[in-house]
Amino acid sequence: MNYLESLNKPQYEAVTCTDGPVMVIAGPGSGKTRVLTYRIAYLIQSGVLPWQILALTFTNKAAREMKSRIETVVGADAQKVWAGTFHSIFARILRVEAPKIGYPGSFTIYDTDDTKSVVKDIVKELGLDIKTYNPSAVRNRISSAKSNIITYKAYADNPELMEQDRFNKRPMIHQIYERYVKRLEQNGAMDFDDLLLNMFRLLYQNPENVIAKYRRQFEYVLVDEFQDTNYLQYEIVKLLSKYKDSRENICIVGDDAQSIYSFRGATIENILQFQHDFQDTRVFKLEQNYRSTDHIVNAANDVITYNKRQIKKEIWTDKTSGQKIKVIRALSDSEEGRKVVSSIVELKNRNHLFNKDIAVLYRTNAQSRVFEEFLRRQNINYRIFGGLSFYQRKEIKDLLAYMRLTVNPNDDEALKRALVTPRRGIGKTTIEKLMTFAQNHGVSALAAIDEVPLSGRAPKLLRDFRNLIVTFQNYAVDHTAYEAALYIFKHSGIQTMYMADNSLEGVGRIENLSALMDGVQEFTEADEVAGEANADRSLTAYLQNIALLTDFDTDEENDDFVTLMSVHAAKGLEYRAIYVVGLEENLFPSFMSMDSEDGIDEERRLFYVAITRAEEYLTLSYANSRYQYGQIRQNEVSRFIDEIDESRMEDTSSHISRSSGPMRAAIRGGVVKKIQPNLPKVDLDNFIVSPPSKIAQGQIVRHMKFGDGKVLKIDGANHSKVATIQFDSIENPQRRIMLKFAKLMIVE
């Protein structure tokens, strides 16, 4: 067991403490992945059968890396561990158990575009305004309900949810939700949320057989990135770990300070409550950071101490020769772009960095434009992380529609795409009549082809299409995924249609389709190489595999480029040099977080994640002004810069700090000094926000933070109106505040 010798003391204890509930709090760069993989290897070497270990991750890439690392210790047994994402593992179980909850084992997995299309159709059927009932917004509302185990019946019975929908002028969402659920059931399909919700249903409704079966199957449960789990995921984990006389052999690994995905439904409550739910939990804290230098690590500690609700830890490093954190102040967002890119050029030249060693992180994707512009001017190769997914490209979705319809003839969303690509003389009206007939009679559109009353050539064209799909289905039964996909590619008309386009774009689409076919072939042959003679190489298995891919699973070319991405996308990554840009109040932290302490806390955790991506060089930047809503907005520097001890920072551009927030900074002798603010006291019980439209020049208004002040002028139009206010407070004199977000009370 030489691998154990490479562990420090807390890592060793976390790996070898195998029985009962274990919580590993892993700070950034502290060897979390090593502990997780070595723990599994240790279990196997201690006599636990590999297929009795369930390891849940958030990306397929993480699961593959986990298995690869375990294999270096225990050999081929690593491949027998049940390691994968929540969605992929539960999809695998549901393929076997789905009939118990009324689904076919060959159910289709609908992606985001499919589900939006279903919602859009339902909105039209109900005669609702598509702008009011935006499919994306409605879909997100349904997703949130499912993630909190709220069925459409429970949704309709919940007064608070119904009132929220009425307030947002979307009172029919509960009816859309009901039809959406029934439509997917009729289509033999599940969306990503259903993979979790139906797994919960399966376990909850079948405690004596299904729960008992999988508790025997999974003697040990491990969950990576536990702080990113939502309510539903945790409930499933508890069902698998706490049932009856279970030994509760569950190990969670995560960091509450990196919980940043509440907008996806993740809740920090899961990790904060774990010790309460599992009474005998052993807690191990991995506090040594092997990634970053001391100034970066200590800055992260400075910032996170401002969050009240957290699991206390003190991250440290033995890398004590690091450079101080640089701060760039710019007069405008354009100047910020120029200064940041100039700094990148200097950093590369002075410290011999490659482009790939550098990342620029921003709070919103819209900020990338200016940095792209200046990177181009300097001829610096860059890439925006998180572009259009390969599997979202039109030509790819066209061919996949035929494959999906082949394995699941009830998939109406795939049928609608396949009917019109390539063109078969089947018009929009015919398709609408077919879909309406199918919905009214409770059958799939493919099954309705022989029954729908149509005239002219339409019946024959539809029957020819149906016969083509039947041919594909028959062929796929006795052939591998690649053989079936190649047959579909050649006989569906997709190949002929795209080969006929000789334009540069057409050539690119054929190249993409060829790459897709290569991927199918790789999937088909991969198991043979691994020696798994009985592995599932069917078209159904392939489609499930690609449906569960995430952005992090996409292989990138090995080019030398500066990476531009949002802070959310950067989690889990690391670079020698990090630039965190746009550090201004109402941008980072976001204005959407200002209404609650929890919101600010999550923004602070997001900043914590951003700065801990840096190994050696960290630069923070902000602009005194930037365009927003067509107007120039004056900015205050983010409170997060103020929360870092000035001894860790090197001011590169006459840094002038913001003048409000939990701490105030001022320039003293060229160094940033912090002084306590003297904010006005406001009686919140008697504070009533006045409508923005009522605010006028000359009025005396009251602000919750700044106190009373006089409105000197109002400029801008409609939703972009900005008030210039002279406040009485010495600490907060004149300010420009956008009325849309101001929350002002008219005093006189």
Q: Are the beta carbons of 126 and 175 closer than 8 angstroms?
A: yes
Q: In this structure, which amino acid lies at residue 295? A: H
Q: Please say whether the dihedral angle defined by the alpha carbons of residues 565, 612, 337 and 556, taken in this order, is positive or negative.
A: negative
Residue 32 is a catalytic residue:
yes
Burial class (CB in 10 A: 0-12, 13-18, 19+), 182: middle
Which of these is catalytic: 39, 613, 626, 639?
613
Residue 7's closest CA among 27, 35, 45? 35
Question: Which residue of the set 32, 285, 326, 417 is catalytic?
Answer: 32
Q: What angle do CA 515, 516, 521 make, to 5 degrees?
A: 95
Write down the H helix ranges in 57-134.
60-74, 86-97, 112-125
What are the phi and psi torsion angles at 233 (to 5°)? -60, -40
- φ and ψ of 222, to 5 deg: -125, 140
Per the residue annotation, which of 194, 225, 585, 643 is the catalytic one? Answer: 225
Buried b / exposed e along 476-497 (16+ C-beta atoms within 10 A): beebbbbbbbbbbbeebbbbeb
Six-digit token string for 442: 């409770």
Is-contact 740 721, C-beta < 8 A? yes
Q: What are the residues whose beta carbons fall under 8 Å from the beta carbon of 551, sequence distance 6 or more?
A: 385, 386, 389, 569
Residue type, 221: V
Q: Which two tokens stand for residue 1?
A: 């067991």
In single-letter form, the type of residue at position 719 comes to H
Instruction: Please give the full DSSP string across 143-210, using - where no structure is assigned.
Output: HHHHHTT--HHHHHT-HHHHHHHHHTT-TTHHHHHHHHHHHHHHTTEEEHHHHHHHHHHHHHH-IIII
Q: 89, 44, 47: which is closest to 70 by C-alpha? A: 44
Catalytic residue among 57, 59, 85, 258: 258
Q: Which of 97, 111, 191, 224 is catalytic?
A: 224
Spatial contact of 142 and 180, defined as CB atoms under 8 Å apart: yes
* 266 contacts 258 by C-beta, under 8 angstroms: no
User: Which listed residue (13, 16, 18, 33) is catalytic?
Assistant: 33
CA torsion sign for 80, 81, 87, 90 is positive
Active site residue 258: yes
228 included as an active-site residue: no
Residues 6+ apart with CB under 8 A from 130: 120, 123, 124
Looking up tokens 């339409």 gives 458
With beta carbons less than 8 A apart as the criterion, state whether 721 and 729 touch.
no
Per DSSP, 586 falls in state B
C-alpha of 102 from chain center? 30
Among the listed residues 647, 649, 629, the one whose alpha carbon sits nearest the alpha carbon of residue 637: 649
Contact between 631 and 653 (Cβ < 8 Å): no
Task: Give, in order, the Cα–Cα distances in Å from 402 to each of 202, 396, 498, 618.
Answer: 30, 10, 15, 49
Closest by Cα among 104, 105, 102, 101 to 205: 101
Rg (CA), the chain: 28
**What token pair was written down for 427?**
């018009």
Known catalytic membership, residue 179: no
| Residues designated as active site | 32-33, 224-225, 258, 613
